Amino acid sequence: MPKVTFVAFTGCVHTVEVPVGTTLMRAATDNRVPGIDGDCGGNCACATCHIYVDPIWSDRVGTRTATEEDMLNIVAEPRGNSRLACQIVLTDALNGLIVSLPEAQH
């Protein structure tokens, strides 16, 4: 089961362990990690699961989908390492992943 660490805007750290195949968004919401809303239920349609991928993980996490690219246009403070957590599926290769959260979701 991959482990993933969420670093909140305040610096507060949450590490959770979830089954392979879980999205990063569900990893947060199912474990009550604050700061990720997922209002659209994982349809890449609300941009309320915005996260920043730790640079050392960028290659393994992969690239944005076209829809995700569109939705990242509406978040506050997008950066080069911005992703929507609902579009990242956790695998064993992502065991140890670290992401940080924006100040708040759009």
Partner 1 sequence: MKTTASVEPAAIGAAARARAALLPLEELNPADPQGFVDDTVGYVFERLRREDPVHRSHSPIPGIDTYWSVTRYRDIMQVDTSHGIYSSEDGITLMDFPPGDEQKLPMFIAMDPPKHDEQRKAVGPIVAPSNLNNWQGLIRERTAKVLDGLPRNETFNWVDKVSIELTTHMLATLFDFPLQDRRLLTHWSDMATSNKLTNPDAPEPEVRMAELRKMLEYFTRLWNERINAPPRTDLVSMLAHGPATRNMGPTEYMGNLILLIVGGNDTTRNSMTGGLLALHEHPQEMSKLRANPALIDSLVPEIIRWQTPLAYMRRSALVDTELGGKQIRKGDKLAMWYLSGNRDESAIPEPNRFIVDRERPRQHLSFGFGIHRCVGNRLAELQLKILWEEILRRFEVIEVVGKPTRIRSAFVRGFSDLPVRIPS
Nearest to 99 by CA among 16, 1, 39: 16
How buried is 1 (Cβ within 10 angstroms: 0-12 exposed, 13-18 middle, 19+ buried)? exposed
Q: How far is the CB of 65 from partner 1 (least distance, A)?
A: 12
Which residues lie across from 6 on neighbouring strands? 14, 99
Nearest residue (CB) to partner 1, 15 versus 67: 67
Binding of partner 1 at residue 105 (CB under 8 A)? Answer: yes
Q: How far is the CB of 50 from partner 1 (least distance, A)?
A: 10
Number of C-beta neighbours around residue 9 at 10 A: 11
Find the binding residues for partner 1 in span 63-82 (CB under 8 A). Answer: 67, 70-71, 73-74, 76-77
Question: Contact positions toward partner 1, by CB under 8 A?
Answer: 37, 39-41, 43-48, 67, 70-71, 73-74, 76-77, 102-106
